[in-house]
Chain A
Amino acid sequence: MNYLLVAAILLSSGFRVNAEQAQENDLSSLKKQFIQQISTDSDIEEGPFSFNYEFRTVFFSNAVISLFGELTVHDRLPHGWKQYEGKTLYKATDQWKEVSLEDIFPTPENKEFLRSMCEKILKKDPLSYFSGNTPLCETLKYEDIYTFVVDDQHLIIVFQPYVVGSGADGPFVVKIPIDTLKRVWADSHMFCLQLSKSIESRSFLSSWDLDKFYNDVAEVN
């Protein structure tokens, strides 16, 4: 089965996203923006220019689908720009709904747990802005935590370029084991229930790491 095709069908069949996200993720607008940039503001010395978009499943089951998108645009020197996208959907009464971190970490205590856990892990990463002799950042803002995907073992928080580390060294990710989260997140939320059910059923495809993903599929077959 072509999972990219499934993802495309899902998108075109219209799950709900808010207006701001729609504009930010609208590929047609982004393509127009790219053409406008290179035709008006970019210099011949900065080329060649390119626009790449990849969207793939990180987790795929009957009840939960998690997708990771990466937009890489080179339309200027020094390095163009990137944007990461996470979309996680769950099935609720025969309809696919998108889940946000707000849904599964609704209370201030939940949010603080998530923030401090990410901060603690990032402080151990020598490439992040939180480390080194003169760290650029000392405290992680909760507002910077919004892009995420799930696999069968982790909630994977993905940070946008230049938020917690240089854009060239990303994506910076923090993987939090789902077992740890069971005691913390909104366990009764339909997404959490569906994810647990999918993992228990062992009927899923899952991997954040694309190479490992194909290896796993080969071994199962």
Chain B
Amino acid sequence: MSAVAATAAVATPVLSVQGLTTSFRVADSWQAVVRDISFEIGAQETLAIVGESGSGKSVTALSIMRLVSLATGRIEGRIELDGKDLLSLPEEQMRDVRGGDIGMIFQEPMTSLNPVLTVGFQVAEVLRRHRAMDTRTAEAEALRLFDLVRIPDARQRARDFPHTFSGGMRQRVMIAIALACQPRLLIADEPTTALDVTIQAQILELIRELQTEIGMSVMFITHDMGVVAEIADRVAVMFNGDKVEEGSAQTIFAAPQHAYTRRLLAAVPRLGALRGSELPHRFQVLELDSANTRPPEESPTSVSQLPDAEPDRRGDPLLDVQGLTTRFAVRGGFLGRTKGQVYAVENVSFTLRAGETLALVGESGCGKSTTGRSIMRLIEPSAGRVLFEGRDMLTLNAGELRALRRRMQMIFQDPYGSLNPRKTVGAAIREPLRVHGLYAGAEADARVATLLQQVGLLPEHALRFPHEFSGGQRQRLCIARALALEPRLIVADESVSALDVSIKAQVVNLMLDLQRELGLAYLFISHDIAIVERVSHRIAVMLLGEIVWKLDRAAVLDNPQHPYTQKLITAVPVPDPALEKRSKGLLMEENQQSGASFGVSVQAAPPVGSWAGSLRSCV
């Protein structure tokens, strides 16, 4: 945390941006992506730039670095770093600024490092470039930097190539590169978005500490209000290319002025907001009042005062999973012989009732997605029983399976990938009706229209293609298609994770409404505990293929017993800057994170290397 009082006017700003407008050439005209925005960042201050996708926040960062392609982009306005006008610098001198005076880290640690150069070289390179070090000095300094960003065993690891590092470790290397020349300003563009929540907490803490150590300013770009509250002194909110509001972090959270900021904050799930309640609860969706903003995807609903859904507690559970185990064969060698097995899901058991939501929570690679797919037999489980409506899914033949699967459907993460781009949405929703012989002809058309209305779309949308819809609308289409077969259970695999926060709230509301109307049971798979709190009746936490904790939601979140659950919950950034910024004690080495340390039987824990490699599909 910097020493600068957040509300004080910036006396001598490190970075001053005045009237920045960045446009891109589209066809034959220039289209502004960032419009006339101004802000300043003081010494050792952290300014967070917040916005949803398409708000222009990343383009702002690239404009400051002048990394917008000159062929297709145009930067106007004035950008000063310590009084030096960056936009009028010759390219050669601008290169001295990049990496020297301004360091930058990016969202995707997996692809931001050059795969054919050792990480040590990539750190030393920037030292040789800006600090005129010879090769040996640079290498020694690189080792020091590795220690600084807490990469263990630096001497050894410096000689390794990026692909041998995990995502969090790669982001540390990126930070080492960005901070190598002790820059005046660090620009961090969504640096933790691609990381698991516990790793995110470590990286945020590292940035905070190094900021104090080096004495630099930070421009932190993010879409996550929780991260903002955790790291920012001041906040600038961007929407659709404009800066709509700026102020100290406390003010923005406590008394947001602009309608968009208010809407954004209302849609942010706050972990602990439902403390004491047993049931899921809808988000409050605010409407934007100003005319210059894009229309919201759904009009404020009139049903906001409906009662929350309660599960049907009578009779047998809808789904009863016992001892589910799924192992993947690791193939290799000639003609793909089986070399070994990866334990993706081990001995998982739970039940789910009609009208109930069970959330499956865990970090990437924990086996939660594999569990969902194994239940539907999209992946063939190795052992266990999956009783659905009293019948064991795992013993059915292909025909029976197809018939029973109708009653359980799945919604996926990627709203762009889960609809066939070459089919009109009407045809996509109609196809399952025909395949299962449910409706035909005019009846089918009527059913398509009903389904579209049910998810908040219009019947005339049937003739459009998926690319004509926004991300949130596409997720609605996926829900409509899943509902076409009148299922009783829906496996929602990270179904809202890829959506912007305000859209996410709307889709969650839709899912809750449908649950109440149709008595649907959800298996809600997510890494996002704050969302999970909002939607679930019960929670199961997964770690390394096993369920480590399983209880009613309130019991899991309000009073977590298992150390891993505690860690997971503590790591979630809370969107409230008033809370003391606590050191979370999470700087535990991520590579040491093995099952054993959390009381999971070591047997189930596969070797870390093969684990990470083989389970990419699990994310």
Partners in one complex: no
